[in-house]
Amino acid sequence: MTWRANLVQKSLTILQKHFHLKLKVRHLGDCGTSTQSPHSVVFLSGFQQANLLILPSRLANDFEDFCHRNPAPLPLLYRSKPGETSCPPLAGGADVRTDVSQYCVYEEGRLVKTISSLQSYSPLSSSPDLMSEMVSFYLGCSFGFEGKLREAGVPVRNVEQGRNVSMYRTSISCIPAGAFHCHLVVTMRPVPAALLDTAVEVTHLNPLAHGAPVHIGDAALLGIQDLSKPDYGDQVDLQPGDVPVFWACGVTSIEAVLCSKPPLAFSHSPGHMFLTDIPDSPDSTIAASDITNTPRLKPSPELMPLCFPISQNPLLYSLASKAAVERIRQLEMIIGEDPGQRGIRALFVQDELLRSCLALSHSSSVAITTGFPTHYMHSPPDETDGPPGAIAIATMLLSLGKDVTLLTDRRAVEMTGAMVDEAVRTGVLKAAIPVVTFEGSGPEAAQNFLCHHGDTSKPRFDHLVAIERSGRAEDGNYYNMRGINIKHLVDPIDDLFIAARTISGVSTTGIGDGGNELGMGKVKQQVKSLMPMGEVVACDVPADFAITAGVSNWGGLRGGLRAVLAAHLSVSPPLPEERSGTGSCPHQRAVAGLELLPAICGEGGDLPVHFGAFGNTEWENREPGHGGGRPDLSPHSLQNHQQAAGGHAGLRTDQLSSSSGSAQICSFYKHLPYSSGAVDQPTR
């Protein structure tokens, strides 16, 4: 922008602020708009801009309800009285009939013309006093935060390129209200990856201008097939290193008119905004509560979102509040405690739990696998670390509305089915979930299993979770921690995790406590160099997220699952059903799911940090050469310490007691018909 353009813009802002003059900026040439663009975009910084929709009064209540149900695209600044052409709370001396540089006229949901003044519109079918029958809605606009983005050092590419912002119709449905329904419309602004947190923070502080983004990453996830073909506005080019960032857009109101077909409606033409006198500072949200009669609180610093990449194929970032991030990091440290002094802290990677939980929050269909046949000379050979955690994960995901499938070995189908039945009988699971096997070999079989008809564009699952599941070593075998090959007891479920890396939209999580579990190949080098017998037993198959836990069940029971809940409830961008507004809030379902899970510690419902509470017998069950052991889960220990982390390796399932209310999952596991195979001493 030239010095002359800067001077003009500053002068206009000063006049606006001090004299409350209503200004229209049309085709300022080098002041920031393009003479080639059909739109005259207002680039005055420092004040909120508004989308405008004018409807017959009989539809006004329906549309106001529609706004309240979809506040992200339709933040309601002001609703006029019928026939009111001014809006004193927003702009002194304004006249809605003339203060927008270009209006669109819709009849029966069809755009019939654009005009420069509503005073000139008088169809033969209308009454002489047309506006007396109309109600005006003023809605927040994302142009209101562009000045703040520039002040924070975030380039605004559409301004740099002299174009109107790109706007797209998505596949996300808004929540209908009365006569109104439509799909969400979004704006797209390219943002350098290194400045995503800055852009998110700036816009989060301006909820009247749509707030934080609704999506960051691949446009196809919103149903947008081609960024070069916006439905409204101009194409804006991404520069190297840019990430497409999408905000909810007030043009959603125009989509509502097109879909709902009112007999007559007027709107601003996209890019031709109504300019208010409201500053675009966060404090303005409090004043706006008086305007809309809707309580609006100043954004809390604890709710400030932070940005995390959770997928590269497709590109996807997710946001979580600072408070949720801090909480999940605390949980990550707690479940990663190393009570057996095994050195597993060396495998810890920060934020793996956080990013896995965010990815699970965005998922819709999850397959969970578990099973470590460490007691290879017994029937069944499986240790009890893993299955309780798998059931806990399934419980929470089901409560959040996800589809869940349990994936197991052929030899363990009957046992796993009995475990699910018992979980349903005891109320841990509200309904039975499918139990399936995978016995194929090679990438083609894995692809056919993961995708409908083998079509990688139609995956059956978008997240695979392995908790305490035997992992394939570098030589193709499977080992327990003593280096004993148990390959004959393990089906090639690892192939699914390998295939998932080549299928867009499928993420993987591995939860382990020794490094020989499926998914822990992500930290293979650390396992090889730092864990006992690591060169032999280290899993070679990585997961996108590798969660290290002191006991794998801790990664699935209440400690880890609280993180899923925290991520889900704080996730921003919102989940698909919530992107357009309030959505169907999963909070009550999630809390109900959490209440089904057993407590892990009496204090705050979290895992204990001070393991000395177990006394002198805490780690007497040690595996020879293992460098540590596992906690006493006798009925007395379970009852006294509320330890529901479930069956740990080296413990018979009949050692688990139902006498403690906190051992709900353990109690159903005890009563399975397969409870006598484990040995007294751990052999994992």
| Confidence at residue 342, expressed as pLDDT on a 0 to 100 scale | 81
CA–CA separation, 289 and 285 (whole Å): 7
Q: What is the pLDDT of residue 285?
A: 45
- Say what the pLDDT of residue 629 is: 32
Residue pLDDT, tens place only, 557-577:
654 555 566 655 555 555 444
Q: Which of 49, 38, 45, 39 is nearest to 6 (CA)?
A: 45
Torsional sign, CA 659, 664, 665, 670: positive
Phi and psi for 306 in degrees, rounded to 5? Answer: -115, 150
Cα-based angle 155, 156, 162 (whole degrees, multiple of 5):
125
Tens-digit pLDDT profile for residues 92-108 = 889 999 999 899 999 99
Report pLDDT for 122.
65
Contact 306, 319 (CB under 8 A): yes
The SS3 of residue 299 is coil
Lowest-pLDDT choice from 184-193, 411-420, 634-643 = 634-643
User: What pLDDT is attached to residue 381?
Assistant: 86
pLDDT tens track for 481-540:
999 999 999 999 999 999 999 999 999 999 999 999 999 999 999 999 999 999 999 999
Report the alpha-carbon distance of residue 333 to residue 217 in Å, rounded.
29
CA pair distance 124, 113, nearest whole angstrom: 15
Q: Which two tokens stand for residue 242?
A: 């840019």
pLDDT of residue 277: 83
pLDDT over 90 at 683, yes or no: no
What pLDDT is stored for residue 641 in this prediction?
A: 28
The pLDDT of residue 554: 82
pLDDT digits over 345-372, tens only? 899 999 999 999 999 989 999 999 999 9
Predicted confidence at residue 331, as pLDDT, reads 87
Least confident of 2-6, 287-291, 571-575, 658-662: 658-662
CB atoms within 10 A of CB 112: 12
Burial of 456 (0-12, 13-18, 19+ CB in 10 A): middle
pLDDT at 588: 44
Region 303-325: mean pLDDT is 92
* Sheet of strand 435-437, all strands in order from the earlier edge strand to the far edge: 435-437, 403-408, 365-371, 463-469, 507-512, 545-548
Mind listing the pLDDT tens digit for each residue in 244-265? Answer: 999 999 999 999 999 999 999 9
Name, in order, each residue with C-beta under 8 angstroms of 250's C-beta and a sequence gap of 6 or more: 50, 51, 73, 74, 75, 139, 140, 141, 142, 210
pLDDT of 653 above 70: no
Q: Is residue 664 very low, low, confident or very high in pLDDT (cuts 50, 70, 90)? A: very low
Structure confidence at residue 370 (pLDDT): 96
Distance CA 665, CA 658 (A): 9
**Tokens 């409201």 appear where?**
278
Per the CB < 8 A criterion, the answer to whether 187 and 166 are in contact is yes
Q: Which residue has the higher pLDDT, 555 or 159?
A: 159
Per-residue confidence band for 623, with pLDDT thresholds at 50, 70 and 90: very low
Closest to 353 measured CA to CA, from 504, 565, 193: 565
| pLDDT cut 70: percent of the chain above it | 70
Q: How confident is the model at residue 141 (pLDDT cuts 50, 70, 90)?
A: confident
Q: How sure is the predictor about 377, in pLDDT bands with cuts at 50, 70 and 90?
A: confident
Predicted local confidence at residue 143, as pLDDT: 82
Is the confidence at residue 595, as pLDDT, over 60?
no
Give the pTM: 0.78
pLDDT score, position 239:
97
**Average pLDDT over all residues of the chain:** 77
Least confidently predicted of 313-327, 429-443, 549-563, 652-666? 652-666
> Is residue 328 predicted with pLDDT exceeding 50?
yes
Give the per-residue pLDDT at 240.
97
CB 507 within 8 Å of CB 312: no
Average pLDDT over residues 383-403: 90
pLDDT in tens, 176-213: 999 999 999 999 999 999 999 999 999 998 888 899 99
pLDDT at 434 over 90: yes
